[in-house]
Structure 1
Amino acid sequence: MWIIFYTIALFVSITEAIPRTDVTVSGLSSGAAMTAQLHLVFSSTISGSGILVGPPYYCAEGSSTRVDTCLYGPTTLIPIEKLTSQLQSYVSAGIADPTSNLKNDPVYIFSGRFDRVVFPDVVKLNENIFSSFDTNIKTNYEMRATHGFMTDNFGGLCEFPDLKYFINNCSFNLAYDVLNHIFGGNLTKPTKQVPLTGQFVIIEQPALMNPESINSTNSKKIDIFSYWANWLKNSAATHKPSFQLQPLKLPGLTETSSIGASGFDKEGYVYYPTNCTQGKKCPIHVAL
Structure 2
Amino acid sequence: MRTGPLCCITVALTAVIMAISPLAAEPVALRGYNAAIGESSISGISSGAFMAVQFGTAWSSVIKGVGVIAGGPYWCAKADADDFINGFTLPIMTATGSCMKGPPPDLNIFIAKADAKAASGDIDPVQNLRRQKVYLFHGTNDAVVARPVTDAAADFYRHYLGDGNLGNLYYQSAVGAGHSLVVEQKPQINGLNGCADNQGPFIDQCGYDQAGIVLQHIYGALNPPNRGQLTGTMQRFDQSVYSKPDDTNALSLGDTGFVYVPKDCADGQACRVHIALHGCKQDAGDIGRKFIDDTGYNSWADTNHLIVLYPQTASSSFAPFNPQACWDWWSYVNHEDSYVTKSGAQIKAIKAMLDALTANAAAITAPAGSPDQAPTALAVVDTSDTGADIVWNPVKGATVYRVWRADADGPFAAISDIAGPSFGDSGLKPRSVYRWRVAAIVNGAEGPVSIEATASTRSTPAPCDSPGTCPVGR
Determine if the TM-score, normalized by the shorter chain, exceeds 0.5.
yes
Structure 1 residues 14-163: aligned runs within 5 Å: 21-62=38-79, 63-67=91-95, 68-75=97-104, 78-134=105-161, 136-152=168-184, 153=186, 154=189, 155-163=192-200
Deviation at 1:285, TM superposition (A): 0.8
Deviation at 1:191, TM superposition (A): 5.5
Structure 1 residues 3-22: aligned runs within 5 Å: 21-22=38-39
1:265 counterpart letter in structure 2: G
Q: Residues 144, 14 of structure 1: CA spacing in aligned structure 2 closer, same or farther, 3 A cutoff?
A: farther
Secondary structure at the aligned position of 1:212 is classed as coil
What is the total number of aligned residue pairs between the two structures?
225
Q: Given the alignment, which residue of 196, 200, 204 partners 1:168?
A: 204
Q: Residues 168, 13 of structure 1: CA spacing in aligned structure 2 closer, same or farther, 3 A cutoff?
A: farther
Mapped partners of 1:108, 1:115: distance in 2: 17
Could you say which residue in structure 2 is the equivalent of 1:272?
A: 261
Deviation at 1:13, TM superposition (A): 11
Secondary structure at the aligned position of 2:245 is classed as helix
- Answer yes or no: is the 8 Å Cα contact 2:143–2:198 preserved in 1: no
Structure 1 residues 187-266: aligned runs within 5 Å: 187-190=222-225, 192=227, 195-209=229-243, 211-212=244-245, 257-262=247-252, 264-266=253-255
Mapped partners of 2:197, 2:269: distance in 1: 42
Mapped partners of 2:126, 2:245: distance in 1: 32
Q: Which runs of 4+ in 1 moved over 4 A?
A: 12-15
Mapped partners of 1:120, 1:70: distance in 2: 10
- Answer yes or no: is the 8 Å Cα contact 1:14–1:275 preserved in 2: no
Mapped partners of 1:100, 1:156: distance in 2: 40
Mapped partners of 1:34, 1:121: distance in 2: 18
Structure 1 regions of 5+ residues with no counterpart? 1-9, 214-256
Mapped partners of 2:226, 2:233: distance in 1: 17
Deviation at 1:258, TM superposition (A): 2.5
1:261 counterpart letter in structure 2: L
Q: TM-score, normalization: structure 1? A: 0.72
The structure whose Rg is larger is 2
Task: Kindly provide the CA deviation profile for residues 50-102 of structure 1, in whole angstroms up to 9, marking residues without a partner as x.
Answer: 11111211111112331211000124xx2111211111111111212111112
Secondary structure at the aligned position of 2:98 is classed as helix
Task: Kindly provide the CA deviation profile for residues 235-279 of structure 1, in whole angstroms up to 9, marking residues without a partner as x.
Answer: xxxxxxxxxxxxxxxxxxxxxx422222x2332211112221222
Task: Kindly provide the CA deviation profile for residues 133-179 of structure 1, in whole angstroms up to 9, marking residues without a partner as x.
Answer: 2151111111110011111125111111232x211111111111111
Q: TM-score, normalization: structure 2? A: 0.45
Greater relative CO (CA pairs within 8 A, separation 6+): 1
Mapped partners of 2:33, 2:128: distance in 1: 22
Mapped partners of 1:166, 1:189: distance in 2: 25
Mapped partners of 2:135, 2:230: distance in 1: 24
Secondary structure at the aligned position of 1:260 is classed as helix
Task: Kindly provide the CA deviation profile for residues 75-133 of structure 1, in whole angstroms up to 9, marking residues without a partner as x.
Answer: 4xx21112111111111112121111122310111111111111122112111011112
- Answer yes or no: is the 8 Å Cα contact 1:27–1:33 preserved in 2: yes
Mapped partners of 1:80, 1:24: distance in 2: 24
Could you say which residue in structure 2 is the equivalent of 1:281?
A: 270
1:188 counterpart letter in structure 2: N
Task: Kindly provide the CA deviation profile for residues 14-61 of structure 1, in whole angstroms up to 9, marking residues without a partner as x.
Answer: 99xx9x922211111101101101111211121211111112111111
RMSD: 2.4
Structure 2 regions of 5+ residues with no counterpart? 1-29, 80-90, 278-474
Deviation at 1:183, TM superposition (A): 0.6
Mapped partners of 2:233, 2:226: distance in 1: 17
